[in-house]
């Protein structure tokens, strides 16, 4: 039981160090979107691979938009309390 508690504590303390910032996530997403756009221009992939890639791109864009909305809301709340 003590080992489990120590393990959980180690994971909880290590998690913030492994988290990416929003800017890093945006850069990652931009790179992945550029790769997807390049693959679209080549036109060499099959229909199922293309559909899967487009679904992932749409999900990335939705997550980025949600991150930005949350960030803007936090900034507005912070500004309102000044």
In this structure, is residue 61 part of a structural domain?
Answer: yes
Hey, is 43 helix, strand or coil? coil
Tell me which residue range forms the domain holding 50: 21-80
Instruction: Identify the pLDDT of residue 12.
Output: 67
Q: How far apart are CA 13 and CA 23, in angstroms?
A: 22
Instruction: Identify the pLDDT of residue 28.
Output: 92
In this structure, is residue 2 part of a structural domain?
Answer: no
At 67, list the tokens: 């991150």
Local mean pLDDT, 10-residue blocks, the chain (82 residues) = 72 64 90 92 88 95 94 90 80
Domain count, the chain: 1
Instruction: Identify the pLDDT of residue 34.
Output: 94
HSE-CB of 9 using CA atoms within 13 angstroms: 6
């Amino acid at each position: 039981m003590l080992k489990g508690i120590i393990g959980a504590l180690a994971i909880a303390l290590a998690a913030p160090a492994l988290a990416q910032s929003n800017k890093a996530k945006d850069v990652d997403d931009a790179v992945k979107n550029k790769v997807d756009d390049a693959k679209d221009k080549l036109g060499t992939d099959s229909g199922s691979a293309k559909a899967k890639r487009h679904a992932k791109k749409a999900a990335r864009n939705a997550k980025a938009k949600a991150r930005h909305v949350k960030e803007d809301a936090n900034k507005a709340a912070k500004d309102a309390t000044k």
